[in-house]
Amino acid sequence: MKYGIAGLLVVHGLIHLLGFVKAFELAQVSQLQATITRPVGVLWLVAALLLVRQGLLARCAKAVLLACTLILQGCATSNRALNPVADKDGPPFAFLMNYVEPEDFGRVASWGINTVLVDLELAESDWVRHYEAAIQHRLKVIPLIWGDNQSVWVWNERSGEWELNVSRYPSSAGARFLQFLRDNPRYLKQTFAIYGFHEPLAEPERSGCERLKKFYQQITREEFPDGSVRVYHEDFSMGWHDSDRCRGEITDYESHNIYPFADNGTEIYRPFNAKTNEYEPPTSDLQSTLRHEIAALDERLSRWARVALPGNSRRPQVIVILQTFAAEGERDRWNLWNRMPSADEMRVFARHVLQERGSQIAGFAWYPFEPVAEEYSQVLKSHRYDRRGQDRWEVIRDTCTGGIPRSRP
């Protein structure tokens, strides 16, 4: 009886310790769904120390060791469930944060984020810095190097191919990066997908459909024929003049943006119309906006579902990106500017997408964490709390750790 009571005291104390860990964002604690502030987290720590002390005073070393072992095993199991590195059957569902610096990797990982899109410099030292931090915090990486014209990838007109092979194009930054991944298997394993192009059909003469297909072929058949590298492009399969031609083996992942948050003083949303590929007139009707956004997502999903592919090919998948920025200098024809969503709005849109279409998409993302454009006046890093004091970061944590469940196949 003495040992049993002491063991329960220790286990109870260690459970309280999880509250302190969550409050100070020291690790992922998906078992606790409630919001725990730092002052309350300190109280959890005090309670944990008192309970463990009582267990130790009972001179129950075996019970203490057993309890510690069970807690550590439970945390390890939870971490593996949230972490893409532990998945051996292919990439898991991606909870993606766009534009994060290594010093914030630990923070976003504690929320349950398992993938980061990072903006790399041309120096190899910067590549190492990002990948080492990603490994430390068990984050998959989508590496982006802007280079010239928003892309590091260079088309060689004479050879009719992209400069991806370092033996043929030793001065190509893109080729050097791919060789860097080959030379560092740990970094290659940590790569979720290679970032290809941002809105490539905006410049069809440079990155049109045939060149996109050639890029994918070179990456997956010539440079990494073992299938170890996947390709990620942003926004090309609908809404552009040549979108209908960009089918087949052309990418593994494509982004789908949900950017409805705007304000002209009266209306607060601008729903996207998938049939016209244009934004609708502004509205304050939340439910109508949600229906329009799901319809737009369905259009992109159906386009990829209808594509005929060879039997051994990977069907392209969609990653939904939710707007989390304000750009007050940008106004459209309705005099609207992009505004930062509230915490409640972030929750509503995440819940709607994940519950309605969670089984049909490959990931859910937030854009951005850092201010990646000069006109961005608000982003997640600088504006954690909305005007009502609600915590946007906590919504992300809930989304990643199961507080907002998603539909399953």
Q: Which residues of the chain have pLDDT under 50?
A: 28, 30-31, 33-35, 66-67, 69-89
The owner of tokens 């329960």 is 8
- Residue 328 to residues 58, 335, 378, Cα–Cα distance (Å): 62, 11, 9
What is the distance in angstroms between the CA of the first residue and the CA of the last residue of the chain? Answer: 47
- What does the alpha-carbon distance between residue 205 and residue 105 come to, in Å, rounded to a whole number? 37
Q: Quickly list H helices, 1-60.
A: 2-23, 38-57
Q: What is the pLDDT of residue 57?
A: 63
Q: What is the pLDDT of residue 148?
A: 72
> Which residues, including other chains, have CB under 8 Å from residue 393's CB and lie 6 or more apart?
111, 380, 384
Q: Which residues pair with 51 in a beta bridge?
A: none
Rounded Cα–Cα distance for residues 342 and 282 (Å):
18
**Contact yes or no for 21/31 (Cβ under 8 A):** no
* pLDDT confidence of residue 76: 42
Locate all alpha helices (DSSP H) within 218-285, ordered by sequence.
none
State residue 36's pLDDT score. 55
Nearest-5° Cα angle at 205, 201 to 208: 40
Q: Give the separation between CA 342 and CA 348, rounded to whole angstroms.
A: 10
Nearest to 293 by CA among 377, 216, 251, 349: 349
Please give the Cα distance from 173 to 123 (Å, whole number): 9
Decide: 365 and 97 in contact? Cβ < 8 Å: yes
Contact between residue 47 and residue 79 where contact means Cβ atoms under 8 Å apart: no
Q: What is the CATH number of domain 90-400?
A: 3.20.20.80
Task: Please report the pLDDT score of residue 28 as a whole number.
Answer: 47
- Asked if residues 192 and 142 have their Cβ atoms less than 8 Å apart, the reply is yes
Q: What is the pLDDT of residues 165-214, one digit of tens each?
A: 999 999 999 999 999 999 999 999 999 999 999 999 999 999 999 999 99
Residue ranges of domains in the chain: 2-80, 90-400
Name residue, tokens 């987290």. 41
- Per-residue pLDDT of 272-324, as tens digits, reads 998 888 889 999 999 999 999 999 999 999 999 998 887 668 899 999 999 99
